[in-house]
Amino acid sequence: MNADQTRSSAQALAEGRKALLQAGDLHGQALRDALADRVEAWLAARAAELGVGDGSGFALVAVGSLGRREMVGYSDLDLVLVHDDRNRDRLSDVADGFWYPIWDAGIGLDHSVRSIPEAMKVAREDVTAALGLLDARFVAGDEDLAALMISSVRGLWRAEARMRLPEVIDSARARWDRTGEIAHRAEPDLKNGRGGLRDIQLLDALAFAQLTDGLGRLDPGRAESPLRTAYRDLLAVRTELHLVAGRARDQVRAQDADEIAAALDVGDRFDLARVISRAARTTSYAVDAGFRTAQNAVGKRGLSKLRRMPMRRPLDEGVVEHSGEVVLAKNATPSSDPGLVLRVASASARNSLPINGQALARLANYAPPIPEPWSAEDLSDLLVLLASGDELVGAVEALDAMGLWETIVPEWPVVRDLPPRDAVHSWTVDRHLLETVAHAGSLTTSVARPDLLLLGALLHDIGKGRGGDHSVVGAELVGPIADRFGLWPDDRRILVELVRHHLLLPAVVTRRDVSDPETIAWVAEKVGGDRVLVELLGALSEADSRATGPGVWNDWKATLVGGLVERVIDHLGGREIPQPEPLGAEVLALAEAGGFQVHTERGDGPNMTKVTMIAPDRSGVLSKMSAVLALADLQAHAATVRTHAGSAVDTFVVMPTFGSPSDPVLLRQRLAAAVDGGFDVHGALAKRTAERGSTGRVGRAAVPGSRIAAAPRVRWLAADQPGLELLELRARDDAGLLARVTVELEKSGVDIAWATVATMGATAVDTFCLALPDTSDAARESVAAAVLSVC
C-alpha cells in the first residue's frame, strides 16, 4: 500500500470512529468495544503492511484506555512500539509507519518506542509510567515479544511496589490537590478527581502487588469486587460525556448534565449528580482503606515483624487509637452506649485519624439511636466534632458511608449529594454544609455563642431540596431538631431564627445603605432586638460565603457585614456585660464553716457532676483547684468562682474523661496538699500532659494539620464596680486551660474577685473580674498577652 492509500485508510478509521459516535445507536460497553475493535483492526492491518508479525522483533502494545478496552469516544490512542534491538535499521521506518498516518488523520496519539530494558528502566524511574504499563495489552506484531515485555514490567511492579508505595500515595494526593473531590463537586473530574477512575485503577495496581483489594482486572483469578459497580457507573458517565461534549472531556459541566442523564436513563442532572457522588464516595472510601491496608502490609515485612505490637492509646470513653486508626476499646459495648458513635467521630476528627472499618461496621450493626432529648454530654460530643475544622469532613463522611450520620441528623438524606442550583456554588449541598461548619470553626472565638454558630452552620441549608424558600423550610425543620438535641427554649429560638435569616445580612449589604439609620433599625427589628442573634448572623454569613466558592467573600463584603453588625448591636444598646452568679444558701453555709471541703452532686447529664470546692482564700487557690480537677481527668464545662467569709467558693460542672468521677475524699486531700504547698499539682499535671500528648476528651488542643483553627481572643469589658475590670477569654478549650490561665493571672499580680467559666463544645468562654494593681493600657496588654500565651 502506498502513502496515499495509507493516509486514506487512516482517514477511514477516523471517519468510521466519528460515524460510530454520531450514529447514537451504541452506548456503554457496546460502544467502547466497537471503538476498540475498529482501532485494533486498523492497527493489525497496518502492522501486516509494515511486515510486523510473529518473529519480526516488533510488537505494538496498547496502554491507557485502549489497553483496558475502555475507549470513550474521543480517547487518545496510547501505544508502545516494542522492539528487540535486532532490527534497529528498520525501527524508524516501522515507528513512522504507525505514527504518521494516525497524526495525518487527526487522531490523538500518545506514543513511545521501547526495548524491553528501556521499558523496565522507565517503569523503575517513573511511577506514573509504571502504573500505565500495567494496562499493557498486545495488539499486533510479535506476540511473544509483547508477552515478555508485559510480564517483565508486571514482575518488576510486584517486586518493587512495597518500596514505591509512599511515592504512589504522594502522587495520588498531589493529583487530588489539583483536581479536588468528585463526590461533592458541582462539576467533577471523573477521571482524575478524588474517587474517580484513576483511583480505582490505582487500587487494581496495588491489588496486583497483593497490597490491598481492587477490581481484579489485572488478575482475573480475583473475586468480584464491590468497587465494580462504582467503576461501571463512572465509566458509563464518562462515555456519554464524550458523546454529548463532542470532544475529549473529563469534567461534567452543568450544561451537559441533563443530556447525559437522559442518555443513561437516570432522570435529570440532579439524579445524575447523585449517581456520580455515590460512586465517588464508594471509591474514596475504598482508596482510604486500601492505602491503610497497603501501608500496614508493607510494615509487616522483614525486621518490622520483630517490633512490638503497637500500643492502644486511650482517646475517649470506649475509644482508643491502634495502628494509626480509631478503634473501639475492648470493653466497649455499642449496643448499650448510644453516644459511642459521636465519641468515635470526634476522636477521629480532633486527632486526624481515620476510623477503623470494623469499628464502623460494629457501630452500624449495633449502636442504638441516641435517646431524645439528647444529654448535655451527647450534645457536647457533637459540638466537639463540629469544632474540628476541616478534619470533621472525613469523620462525617465515614459515618455517612455506613448510614450512621443520618441517625444523628435524620434530615440529611434529602441534602446528601444534592447538587447546587446556581453556578456560584462549588459543592453539593451536604458538603457545603460541612465546609460551612469547618469555616465557622475558625470563628468560634469571635462570638458569644460558638455552640449555636456551629449548629447553625450545620443546618442553615437543611431546607434545600424540599421545595419552597429553603430558609423558611429550614427554620421549620430546625425547631424539632433543636428539641431533639436538648437545647433550652431560648437557644432553640435563636437557632431557628439563625436559619431563617441566614441570608439577611448579605442581602442587606448588597441592596441597602448600611450606614442609614433606617436600615440599621430595620435589621434590628428583623432579628427581634436580639444582640446575640445579629452577632451570630455576621459570623455565619462569613462562613457560608467562604464555603460557597472562590471570591464570594472578600474584604469589601467583610467590611460591610462587620460594620452592619456593630451598628445594629450599638443600636440595641451594646453587648451585654457578664454578671457574677449569686451563691446559694447551702454553699454560703459551707463557706462560713471554712477549712477544706469538697462536695459533689449529680449534674444535669448522666456523666455530669457538680463539684463544689472550698478552701481558705489566698493567692493561687483557683489555679490549684482547677489543676486538681484536671489531674483527676475531670473536664470543667462550667464554673462559678466567688469568695465568702474568707473562703474561696468555687463550683465546677465537670465530666470525666474516662470512667467515673474521682472520690471527693481524694480530691479534698489533693486540694489541701496543693494549697498548703506539700503537693506540686501544676508540675504533676504538666508531667502527665507531656506523657499523654495533647489529646484530652473534649476541647483539646488544635487539631494537628487542620487548616482552620479558631484564634484565642481576649477583650476587656467595663465592670459596673469601681476598681474592677472584666477580662473575657474565648479560646479552644482543653483539660488544663483554666489552670494555666489562672496561673498566669496570678503571676501578673491581679486578684480574681469572681469568674464565670463556660465550655460550649470545644470553645471556652470565660470571664474574670480582676482587681488590677496597674490599670494602664500597657499593664492590661501585658496581662492579656500572658493569658494568650497559654491558650
Question: For 476-495, what is each residue's pLDDT tens digit?
Answer: 999 999 999 999 999 999 99
Task: For residues 554-566, give the mean pLDDT.
Answer: 93
* pLDDT level of residue 310 (50, 70, 90 thresholds): low
Helices 340-351 and 376-386 sit at what angle, rounded to 10 degrees?
30
At residue 269, the pLDDT reads 83
For the segment 282-301, what is each residue's pLDDT rounded down to a tens digit?
898 889 888 888 887 776 54
For the segment 417-441, what is each residue's pLDDT rounded down to a tens digit?
888 877 677 888 999 999 999 999 9
Alpha-carbon distance 750 to 775, whole Å?
Answer: 11
At residue 303, the pLDDT reads 41
Q: What percent of the chain has pLDDT over 70?
A: 93
Q: Which residue would you say has higher pLDDT here, 215 or 345?
A: 345
Per-residue pLDDT at 510 exceeds 70: yes
For the segment 208-242, what is each residue's pLDDT rounded down to a tens digit?
888 887 776 666 555 556 678 889 999 999 999 99
Q: What is the pTM of this model?
A: 0.79
At residue 222, the pLDDT reads 54
Residues 6+ apart with CB under 8 A from 606: 375, 377
Q: Which three cell numbers stand for residue 39?
A: 482501532
Task: For residues 520-532, give the mean pLDDT.
Answer: 95
- The pLDDT mean for the chain works out to 87
Can you say whether residue 645 is alpha, beta or left, with left for phi > 0 and alpha for psi between -120 and 50 degrees? left
Per-residue pLDDT at 696 exceeds 80: no
Per-residue pLDDT at 2 exceeds 60: no
At residue 59, the pLDDT reads 95
Residue 9 near residue 44 (C-beta atoms within 8 A): no
At residue 470, the pLDDT reads 96
Residue 307, φ and ψ in degrees, nearest 5: -70, 155
Q: What percent of the chain has pLDDT over 90?
A: 51
Q: What is the radius of gyration, based on Cα positions, of the chain?
A: 32
Q: Do domains 3-160 and 180-298 have the same CATH topology?
A: no
For the domain bounded by 3-160, which CATH number is listed?
3.30.460.10
**CA separation, residue 729 to residues 418, 578, 755, 790 (Å):** 39, 12, 11, 12
At residue 202, the pLDDT reads 92
Alpha-carbon distance 576 to 567, whole Å?
Answer: 15
Alpha-carbon distance 755 to 651, whole Å?
Answer: 11
At residue 223, the pLDDT reads 56
For the segment 131-187, what is each residue's pLDDT rounded down to a tens digit?
999 999 999 999 999 999 999 999 999 999 999 999 999 999 999 999 988 988 878
Per-residue pLDDT at 192 exceeds 70: yes
Per-residue pLDDT at 14 exceeds 90: no
* pLDDT level of residue 708 (50, 70, 90 thresholds): low
Per-residue pLDDT at 752 exceeds 50: yes
DSSP collapsed to 3 states, 85-131: CCCHHHHHHHHHHHHHHHHHCCCCEEEEEEEHHHHHHHHHHCHHHHH
Per-residue pLDDT at 306 exceeds 50: no
* pLDDT level of residue 302 (50, 70, 90 thresholds): very low
Q: Which three cell numbers stand for residue 396?
A: 462525617
Residues 6+ apart with CB under 8 A from 514: 508, 520, 560, 563, 564, 567
Domain ranges for the chain, please list them.
3-160, 180-298, 409-574, 589-788
With H, G, I as helix, E, B as strand and everything else as coil, classify residue 188. coil
Q: Which residue has the cell 486531700?
A: 669
At residue 514, the pLDDT reads 87
At residue 705, the pLDDT reads 37
Q: Please name every residue paired with 466 in a beta bridge, in sequence order, or none if there are none.
A: none
Residues 6+ apart with CB under 8 A from 774: none
For the domain bounded by 409-574, which CATH number is listed?
1.10.3210
For the segment 641-676, what is each residue's pLDDT rounded down to a tens digit?
898 889 999 999 888 877 677 788 999 999 999 998
Q: 478-492, 585-599, 775-789 — which is least confidently predicted?
A: 585-599
Per-residue pLDDT at 305 exceeds 60: no
Domain 180-298 listed as CATH 1.20.120.330? yes
Alpha-carbon distance 729 to 766, whole Å?
Answer: 5
At residue 311, the pLDDT reads 66
Alpha-carbon distance 608 to 637, whole Å?
Answer: 9
Task: For residues 505-515, give the mean pLDDT.
Answer: 91
For the segment 74-120, what is each residue's pLDDT rounded down to a tens digit?
888 999 999 998 878 899 999 999 998 888 888 889 999 999 999 99
Per-residue pLDDT at 769 exceeds 80: yes
Q: Which residue would you say has higher pLDDT here, 209 or 538?
A: 538
